[in-house]
Amino acid sequence: MSAASGQARARLLIDSKCTLGEGATWCAASGRLYWTDIEGARLWRYDPGERKSVSFAMPERLACLALCADPHYLLLGLASRLAFFDLATGEIETIAEVEPGLPTRVNDGRCDREGRFVFGTKHDVEKAEAIGGFYRLNRDLSIERLPLPNCAISNSIAFSPDGTKMYYCDSPTRQIRVCDYATFANDRVFTELTDATGEPDGSTVDSDGGLWNAQWGGARVVRYASDGRESARIEVPSAQPSCVAFGGARLGTLYITSARVGLNDRALQGDLRAGGVFIATPAARGVAEPVFSGRT
């Protein structure tokens, strides 16, 4: 399959059975994959060299994460707050609460090319309404709300390779948006899902500027070229792919998390690998994941 056209099929790598797998993040320095089971309140790590995965209990639901300039730490987007996590001791240091007093929680998040953490929230109820927002944790640990529309379920946060464009979405709208990142001007629809099923979930970009999006309920990952047109598709043998990250020695492996939440017993009988981590090898290379460059 080429990055420009065609289809491929992902295969199961780790049968982790996460309730809500998310936040796929590749650490090039350690050669390891991190992800989270949000509803299981666990941080996961996989070492391809050892072919071994481990998980760590969290004090509350862990929605997203980022690498830090100090490799001994991770930046955590916990349900109610941002925090630093000491990988050696397990100590958690709270940075700040997020939207206190609102029935929301932290959801998607990625670092921009300048090492600041951009994240969004979601209305934490079954029928979510657009009361959440998008924020940025700056290097001095101040948090600012970004001038973007309110959202019900923030997702698809990603940045073009040169850092000049930001992608994001409110999943129920089935649209992925893009804006000029420095000013947040020229905010517009980048692409809209037209398949009968699926909502946009987590995204990442490749070195050619293509956006790879996991499509919840659609059993697929779709690549969109810089003009928003679909240019490749990966079939995922599970209904709810949730997030994607390029990893491996040359950033040529696409890791895909998935979820079991919301699937009844009958659906799970037909989707036995739900909640696992899948991989595919498209003819594309990723971009190294930026690290949070603020204080740890």
> pLDDT for 224-267, tens place per residue?
999 999 999 999 999 999 999 999 989 999 999 999 999 999 99
Domains of the chain in sequence order = 7-280 (2.120.10.30)
Q: Which residues of the chain have pLDDT under 50?
A: 1-5
pLDDT of residue 3: 40
pLDDT of residue 249: 86
pLDDT of residue 295: 75
Pairing between β-strand 32-37 and β-strand 21-27 as defined by DSSP bridges: antiparallel
Active-site choice (201, 206, 208, 265): 201
In the residue annotation, 201 being an active-site residue is answered as yes
The binding site for substrate comprises 105, 107
The binding site for a divalent metal cation comprises 22, 155, 201
Residues with Cβ within 8 Å of residue 274, at least 6 apart in sequence: 17, 238, 239, 240, 258, 259, 260, 263, 268
Contact 108, 157 (CB under 8 A): yes
Residue the block writes with tokens 């290097």: 139
pLDDT of residue 1: 40
How far are the Cα atoms of 83, 108, 230, 251, 256 from residue 4, in angstroms, in the given order? 39, 27, 9, 17, 20
Give the global pTM: 0.96
